[in-house]
Structures are given as C-alpha cells and as structure tokens.
Structure 1
Amino acid sequence: MANSTTSFNPSVMMLGFGEMTSIKYLYCVLVIIWYVMIILCNSAVIAVIILCKTLQKPMYIFIFTLCLNGLYGSFAFYPSLFINLLQDVQTISYVGCIVQDFAINTYVGCETAILAVMGFDRYVSICNPLRYNTIMALTTVYKLITTVWMYPFILITIHVLLTIRLPLCESTILKIYCDNWSIVRLSCVNTGLNNIYGIFVMIAILLIMPLLVFISYAEILRECVRSSKDFRSKALQTCAPHLISITNFLVDVLFEVTVYRFTPTNLPYALRVFMSVNFLVVPPLLNPLIYGFKMQEIRIKIFNIFLQKTSQLKWLPPDSP
C-alpha cells in the first residue's frame, strides 16, 4: 500500500523548469526586469487613481482593482520562480505549493470577475448614459468590487480544502508553479469529487464570467448598429482596452487549462512552458499599459505628477557645507 509522501517528504519537486536551468542566470535577470516593470506600471496607475480625486469614478476604480489584482497574482508567481531558478533542484514546500495554488487561482477568478464587471460598466455607459450615475453609484461600485473578490475566494477556498484532504503518493509536478490540478494528480486515492468540483469552478469562472461580458457587448453592438458613425467610433474607442484585456486573458487561461489537462507532453517544451505561464506574464503588464498609458486622463495625470516631482527635485536648494 502506497504511503502519503506529504508525511515523509513535505516538498514538491517541479520538473517543468527543464531546459531553463541551463541558462538560469539569464532567466533570473529577465524575471527581475519583468517583475520590476509590473510593479512600477501597476503601482503608478494605482497611485494616480488614489491621489487624483477626479479619477475616483467607477471606470477608474475598476482599473485600480484590476491593477491591484495584477500585483497580487505577480507576487504569487515571480518571487517563487526567481528562487527556484537559483536552486540546483527546483522544489517548494507542500504548504508553499498549496498557498501558491490558492493565490494563482484566486488571481484568475478575480481577473475574470473584474473584467465582467468592467464590461457591465461599459454597457451602462454606452447604452444608458443618462442613467449611468444612478446605476453606477459609488455604493453600487463598492458592492460589485466586494463581490468580485469574495466570489472567487469562496470558490477557490472550497477547492483547496478538498485538495489538502488528499493523501499523496508522488511529489513531482510537470510545471514551474503549483496549480490545483497538478496537486490532485499526485494523490493515490479516488479524486472524483475534486474533479467534479474542479469542473464546476471552471464553469463558474471561465464560462459564466466571459458569458456576462459577451452579453454586455452584444447589447453594446446592438446599440452601435442603430446609432451614428461618430457614436460607433466613440464606443469602440471606449471599449477597445477592455476587449484587448479580456481576449488576451481568456485565450491564455483557456490554452493553459486545455493543453495541460489533456495533452501536457505532446507539445514542444518551450511552447508548453510559454502557454502555462502566459496568463501570469502578459496581463499584469499589459493592463496598466493599455489603461494607464492609453487612456488620456490617466496618462495626463501620471505625466503631470512626474513633472511636478521632477520640478520639485530640480529646485531643491543644495545642501549646506
């Protein structure tokens, strides 16, 4: 009878690093640069929205939440990745693996929920502009944000609790980070309940949330068809950043879930790794760039604050000898 490895070997070995270890120092440098860029870009957008009262409106509050979630997901992934790259053997404690699994899954859940709420915000703004301030009052916005965080956290908490009850017979996973499916596959008992609940979570997060976005944009499209060319142009300009975000994120996540669950070893190593981490690499940097530096109001505020700080430093009196 197989013993539970968690009783004797409280660590999980990650075999997904593979060829990365041969040039690990290059990857370490790239990871640091990318992580610093994510922190700086997201923090800049968050700080501007907090400091500028004119930006404390529903759309910008949702952007603030999106950037905050990007920092949260990145913190769950990049420090662990950097540490493992420096090690001769890529391992993580079982507890650390569970924590990373919880954090990455809640990041995904929050991202899809935030993008769904942002789609609803765009729908109200374009299709019901006269009622926008009434429908999207700040009290409603804060309730939506609370729901955005609570919804995936409750779902994933149950998911993780079902996982940690499983005894494990193996201690190696094929990825460079911990996810729930990888941990469940290490078990030596029946995992039917976990599989069923896992499908339910995927439906709740990766089907229902995008479906809400689709409904919002179907209504926006219908409104655009019966409106003027100028109206369609303004609507497209307003919705473009959100469409880029939701499309990129969903394609990344669905590729990762589909490919890893059904054909994890049938693809080249480099492509497999890229697909498995793309949703943790691109969206946390893409979101602040397309919202913070393409949306004129945020961009102007960022530049104004930067120029103001630069001017203050320029005119500081020199230190007395």
Structure 2
Amino acid sequence: MENASFPTSLYFVMYQNQGHNRYIFFTVGLTLYCAIISFNVIIPLVILRVKVLHQPMYLLISCLSFNSLYGTAGLFPRLLTDFLSDVHTISPPACYIQTFVVHTYASYEFTILTLMAYDRYVAICKPLQYHSIMTAKVLVSLITAALLFPVFSIGFAVFMSARHMLCGNELTKLYCSGWSINRLSCEDTTANNIIGLFVLVITVFLPMGFILYSYIRILIICQRRSSEFKAKAFHTCLPHIVTFVNYSTTVFCEIVTSRYEPGELPEVVTVVLSLEFLIIPPVLNPLIYGFKCPDIRREINCLFKKWR
C-alpha cells in the first residue's frame, strides 16, 4: 500500500501501434456513428410527430432509440478522438463518467425491453384490459422507474469503485469499464466484485428473466387460440424478440470477454466482442422496427417523400 497512488491520467494501451490504420478505423467509426445518429433520430421523429403512433409500444421504441444515442455518445466521440490522437490518456473522473454512461446504457436497454415485453404481454394476454392497464400515467411511471433504477444501482457500484486507490494506469480496452478499472486497484476488490455481480444480476439477468417469462406466457396463450391470432401475435412480437436476442447475445459476448485477463484472447477478438453491444443494437434496432412495423415504415416513407 505504500506505493499506492492516484494516477493523474489513465492510458488506453490498445491504441498503440495503429500506424496509418488509425485513419481507416476513424473513417469506419465516423461512418457508423453518423448512421447510428441518423437511424435513431428518424424513428423517434416519426413517432412523436404522428399522433396515431402515440401508443405505448411505439413510445417505448422511441426510448430504445434515445438510449442508443445516449450510449453511443458515451463511446464514439472519445473513440474517434483517440484514433486520431497521439496521446491516448483519460483522467480518472472522466473514465468513471464514461463507465457510468456505458453501463447505464447497457442496463437501460434491458429495462426498456422489459417494458416492451410487458406491453406485449398485456396486449396479447389481456386485450380487453389493455387500455385500462397501460394508461399514460402508468407508462410514465414505468419509464421513470426503468430509468432511475440503473442510475442508482450502477451509480453506487461506480462510486464504490472510485473510492479505491489505483496502482496502475494502463486500461486494456478501447473505453472505460468497471472491470478494466478494478484491475488497476491496489486494494482488495472482493467487495467491489460482489457488488458488481449483484448489480449485474439485478440490472441484466433479472430483466432477462422477466422478458423470457412474458414471452413464454404469450406462447402458452397463443397455443390455445386460432391460427389467425397466432399469426397476429407473432407479427407484433417478432421485432421485440429479434431485438432482445440480438442485444442479449452482444452483452453476453462483452461479459465473457471482460472476464479474460489481458493477452488471453487475440486483440482483434477482444476489440470486436467488447464493442458489439455498443454498435450492433444501435444500428440494427431502428432498421428492425423501421422495416417490421408497417405503421412506422409507412410514416417514414411519407416523411422522405416530403423531403424530396
């Protein structure tokens, strides 16, 4: 403990030896970020401007797009800057802020998908009670809870991590995360690891369990109904299921990758698996809902026709 200190800056070691490839990485990253911004602005814009789309399902789709903009804003500006910079350092406070943004984004995605699963469950399993259950007041309360819960749970975990003294300053990822910072601590991180696992369970696995339960209940109800009812239920649930499977897969890759020690996996594998959950869902989600939801697709076409 005598050699422990608070580094004035942390260093991203994975940006070393990029050479001229950094311009390629910057171009690809900038193109992706522009696409993410464009896709995730169009969806809420269409939903908010068309009154007929002011329904819980569509408003929750807008929340997914807003979350994609929030999460990628915590990654891409810093990532693109580091690609072009010769100095790849970040101050500890800024690193903890980025950690908070990235982790809350990850949790928000699951809490919003949980609300979407609940909305579909009520719509399919309790259709006559849907409008009395999913009122505007209830929807606002659910969204507020879905936003505040990750703020407090993840905020507490980040705060506990920030209290530890650091002995190193080399981060083995392209962005700051809880596990990469904890590896630099010169104190016992057992308590932090326990808190981190607990937060992981309540912000990721608990919502996942509820989502799976909701769709199992929907499947059971559909088995008792007509083929027409099944087809309609499948059509309305398919975009949500695809989004859920896509996001769960990318988060699983990130969780698995973060448990490996630096150097145990090829660098390119580490980079790809750790960035998937911050890139693939923000790109695919608006495309899925834009193409699979006829109402949204129709309004997008109308919007483009007006712009021509």
User: TM above 0.5, one fold?
Assistant: yes
For 2:73 and 2:2, the matched residues in 1 are separated by 35
Can you list the C-alpha shifts for 1:175-230, whole angstroms capped at 9, x where unaligned? Answer: 00000111111110111211110010111012100000011001011011111222
Contact 1:168 1:186 in 2 (8 A): yes
Contact 1:163 1:180 in 2 (8 A): yes
Q: Are the structure 2 counterparts of residues 167 and 77 from structure 1 closer, same or farther at C-alpha, using a change threshold of 3 Å?
A: same
Give the partner amino acid of 1:232: K
Hey, what does 1:314 align to over in structure 2? none
Hey, what does 1:104 align to over in structure 2? 102
In the TM superposition, residue 256 of structure 1 has moved relative to its aligned partner by 1.0
For 2:194 and 2:258, the matched residues in 1 are separated by 17
Contact 1:2 1:169 in 2 (8 A): no
Query: What is the percent sequence identity of the aligned residues?
Result: 37
TM-score (norm 1): 0.92
Hey, what does 1:318 align to over in structure 2? none
Secondary structure of 1:257's partner? helix
In the TM superposition, residue 265 of structure 1 has moved relative to its aligned partner by 3.0
Can you list the C-alpha shifts for 1:43-78, whole angstroms capped at 9, x where unaligned? Answer: 011111111111110001100111000000010000
Hey, what does 2:216 align to over in structure 1? 218
Q: Does 1:282 align with 2:280?
A: yes
For 1:119 and 1:20, the matched residues in 2 are separated by 43
Secondary structure of 2:255's partner? helix
Hey, what does 2:248 align to over in structure 1? 250
After the TM superposition, which of the residue ranges 264-273 and 160-169 deviates more from structure 2?
Answer: 264-273
In the TM superposition, residue 18 of structure 1 has moved relative to its aligned partner by 4.8
Q: 1:141 aligns with which of 139, 144, 148?
A: 139
In the TM superposition, residue 123 of structure 1 has moved relative to its aligned partner by 0.8
Give the partner amino acid of 2:137: T
Structure 1 stretches of at least 4 aligned residues deviating more than 6 Å after TM superposition: none
Q: Are the structure 2 counterparts of residues 175 and 21 from structure 1 closer, same or farther at C-alpha, using a change threshold of 3 Å?
A: farther
Q: 1:67 aligns with which of 65, 68, 84?
A: 65
Q: Are the structure 2 counterparts of residues 20 and 217 from structure 1 closer, same or farther at C-alpha, using a change threshold of 3 Å?
A: farther
In the TM superposition, residue 3 of structure 1 has moved relative to its aligned partner by 3.5
For 2:69 and 2:183, the matched residues in 1 are separated by 29
For 1:53 and 1:149, the matched residues in 2 are separated by 24
Q: Does 1:93 align with 2:99?
A: no
Hey, what does 1:313 align to over in structure 2? none
Contact 1:118 1:242 in 2 (8 A): yes
Give the partner amino acid of 1:108: A
Secondary structure of 1:13's partner? strand
In the TM superposition, residue 263 of structure 1 has moved relative to its aligned partner by 5.1
After the TM superposition, which of the residue ranges 20-29 and 219-228 deviates more from structure 2?
Answer: 20-29
Q: Does 1:269 align with 2:264?
A: no
Q: Does 1:3 align with 2:3?
A: yes
For 1:28 and 1:162, the matched residues in 2 are separated by 34
In the TM superposition, residue 32 of structure 1 has moved relative to its aligned partner by 0.7
For 1:21 and 1:232, the matched residues in 2 are separated by 55
Hey, what does 2:303 align to over in structure 1? 305
Contact 1:112 1:210 in 2 (8 A): yes
In the TM superposition, residue 152 of structure 1 has moved relative to its aligned partner by 0.5
Can you list the C-alpha shifts for 1:241-263, whole angstroms capped at 9, x where unaligned? Answer: 11111111111111211222145
For 2:300 and 2:154, the matched residues in 1 are separated by 35
Contact 1:3 1:168 in 2 (8 A): no
Hey, what does 1:180 align to over in structure 2? 178
After the TM superposition, which of the residue ranges 120-129 and 254-263 deviates more from structure 2?
Answer: 254-263
Contact 1:264 1:272 in 2 (8 A): no
For 1:5 and 1:79, the matched residues in 2 are separated by 29
Can you list the C-alpha shifts for 1:104-150, whole angstroms capped at 9, x where unaligned? Answer: 00001110100011011111111111111111111111111001100
Listed as ranges, the gaps of 5+ residues in structure 2 are none
Give the partner amino acid of 2:172: L
Q: How does 1:107-186 map to 2 (within 5 A)?
A: 107-186=105-184
Hey, what does 2:188 align to over in structure 1? 190
Contact 2:46 2:299 in 1 (8 A): yes
In the TM superposition, residue 21 of structure 1 has moved relative to its aligned partner by 4.8
Give the partner amino acid of 1:203: V
In the TM superposition, residue 96 of structure 1 has moved relative to its aligned partner by 1.3
TM-score (norm 2): 0.96
